Amino acid sequence: MDASRYKDYMLGLMFYKFLSDKTLETFRNNAGLGRISESELVEAYTQNREELGEELDKMIQQALGYFVAPNTCIKNG
């Protein structure tokens, strides 16, 4: 892969990660969760998603204008 294609690929992944982080931040704020790790936050989202179903996704989408499922994001470490 040449440098220009690699740059496009990396920029796309970084933007996707940014959108996913904003989704988690919106969930954290609306759920009233304090400072917890990203893995704990994803776990809390998953548990709430099982209970609330697509209603949770719709709430986040209304707040942000988009929705990116946190369990599909690239995790650090």
Instruction: Determine if residue 66 is left, alpha or beta; phi over 0 gives left, psi from -120 to 50 gives alpha, anything else beta.
Output: beta
Count of alpha carbons within 13 angstroms of residue 41, beta-carbon side: 23
* All residues at 6 or more sequence positions from 65 whose CB lies less than 8 Å from its CB, including other chains: none
Confidence category of residue 76, pLDDT binned at 50, 70, 90? very low
Question: Using one digit for the tens of pLDDT, what is the confidence trace for 44-73?
Answer: 988 998 999 889 989 999 999 988 877 655
Question: Using one digit for the tens of pLDDT, what is the confidence trace for 1-51?
Answer: 777 788 888 998 898 889 888 999 999 998 888 888 888 988 898 899 899
Structure tokens at 10: 């990396």
